[in-house]
């Protein structure tokens, strides 16, 4: 999900325009957003899985490079006294009613889910530190240190929560023919690709339980495995493969 105040791709990187445009949208919108008591834990989970591949939000641990950095987007407004309840309204409006022709699809989350996502973003945007309590464990997983090839097969799953990570930071294999599998249980499209000595291949994109697979012949040396979708690699979805 890409939160933006304008449909022009050239302005996605302008946080001031995001806040101003969104504020105007909230002020002149034809219908008022109805809000209930938010579930911030649900909001964080949904934000990570639906929005994190496009947006940076520090407390959520997301590093998407396609849409605006949401910490920066609201920094000036919050610093000048703009209330977090107003930020919540802005985000919810943009989720439900993005500008026609923009990059962000309408109603990627709806109803209570949209309220929860908006409330979480409003609660943590431009707020230093880390989430605590139930929010700290809302998104499980994390990266394991090393995936090891066995019998010519190497499994490097994508993060099941939709974050721009693989389940392993790095990998190790022996020289020779290797099949690299990257299952992706999340709804965010990912694949696996590899660069290194004599090998440069890009696997098919998959999501929702699909598997991206590479069949490669590896020489001794150091390779990089990464996701080639959008700016996922720039967002941190890569690791080192050592062949020895």
- Please give the average per-residue pLDDT across 67-85, as a whole number: 94
pTM, entire model = 0.76
- Least confident piece of the model among 49-53, 138-142, 237-241: 138-142
Asked if the structure places residue 118 within a domain, the reply is yes
- Please give the average per-residue pLDDT across 173-177, as a whole number: 97
Residues 126 and 176 in one domain: no
Residues 101 and 13 in one domain: yes
So what's the pLDDT on residue 97?
87
Which residues, at least 6 apart from 219, have a Cβ–Cβ distance to it below 8 Å? 175, 197, 198, 199, 243
State the DSSP H helix or E strand holding residue 18, giving kind and residue range, or none if neither. Answer: helix 15-28
Residues 43 and 133 in one domain: yes
Asked if the structure places residue 3 within a domain, the reply is no
Asked if the structure places residue 4 within a domain, the reply is no
Strand ranges (DSSP E) for 98-209? 144-148, 153-155, 168-173, 176-184, 193-196, 199-202
Asked if the structure places residue 37 within a domain, the reply is yes
Asked if the structure places residue 93 within a domain, the reply is yes
So what's the pLDDT on residue 33?
46
Residue ending a domain, among 118, 137, 156, is 137
- Please give the average per-residue pLDDT across 145-166, as a whole number: 95
Residues 153 and 104 in one domain: no
What's 222's domain CATH number? 2.60.40.420
92-101 residue pLDDT tens: 999 988 877 7
State the DSSP H helix or E strand holding residue 214, giving kind and residue range, or none if neither. Answer: strand 210-218
Residues 118 and 195 in one domain: no
pLDDT above 70 (res 119)? yes
Let me know if 237 is exposed, middle or buried by CB neighbors in 10 A (0-12, 13-18, 19+). buried
- Please give the average per-residue pLDDT across 20-44, as a whole number: 62
- Least confident piece of the model among 11-25, 102-116, 183-197: 11-25
Residues 197 and 123 in one domain: no
- Please give the average per-residue pLDDT across 195-220, as a whole number: 95
Asked if the structure places residue 1 within a domain, the reply is no
Residues 128 and 177 in one domain: no
Q: How many domains are there within the chain?
A: 2
So what's the pLDDT on residue 156?
98
Residue ending a domain, among 113, 137, 161, is 137
Residue ranges making up the domain that contains 202 = 144-243
Residues 20 and 98 in one domain: yes
Residues 204 and 183 in one domain: yes
Cα within 13 Å of Cα(89), Cβ side: 17
Asked if the structure places residue 50 within a domain, the reply is yes
Residues 20 and 130 in one domain: yes
Residue ending a domain, among 91, 121, 137, is 137
pLDDT above 90 (res 199)? no
Asked if the structure places residue 217 within a domain, the reply is yes
What's 83's domain CATH number? 1.10.760.10
So what's the pLDDT on residue 141?
67
Residues 122 and 149 in one domain: no
Residues 120 and 197 in one domain: no
């Amino acid at each position: 999900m890409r939160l933006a105040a304008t449909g022009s791709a050239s302005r996605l990187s302008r946080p001031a325009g995001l806040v101003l445009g969104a504020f105007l949208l909230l002020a002149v919108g034809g219908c008022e957003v109805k809000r209930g008591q938010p579930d911030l834990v649900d909001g964080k989970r949904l934000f990570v899985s639906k929005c994190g591949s496009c947006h940076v939000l520090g407390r959520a641990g997301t590093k998407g490079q396609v849409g605006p950095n949401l910490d920066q987007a609201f920094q000036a407004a919050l610093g000048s006294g703009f209330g977090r309840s107003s930020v919540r309204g802005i985000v919810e409006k943009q989720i439900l009613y993005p500008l026609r022709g923009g990059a962000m699809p309408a109603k990627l989350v709806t109803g209570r889910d949209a309220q929860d996502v908006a409330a979480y973003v409003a609660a943590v945007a431009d707020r230093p530190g880390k989430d605590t309590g139930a929010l700290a464990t809302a998104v499980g997983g994390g990266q394991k240190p090393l995936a090891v090839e066995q019998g010519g097969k190497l499994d490097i799953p994508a993060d099941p929560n939709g974050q721009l990570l693989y389940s392993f930071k790095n990998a190790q294999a022996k020289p020779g023919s290797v099949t690299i599998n990257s299952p992706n249980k999340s709804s965010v499209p990912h694949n696996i690709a590899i660069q290194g000595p004599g090998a440069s291949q890009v696997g098919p994109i998959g999501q929702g339980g699909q598997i991206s697979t590479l069949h490669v012949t590896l020489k001794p040396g150091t390779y990089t495995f990464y996701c080639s979708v959008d700016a996922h690699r720039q967002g941190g979805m890569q690791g080192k493969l050592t062949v020895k």
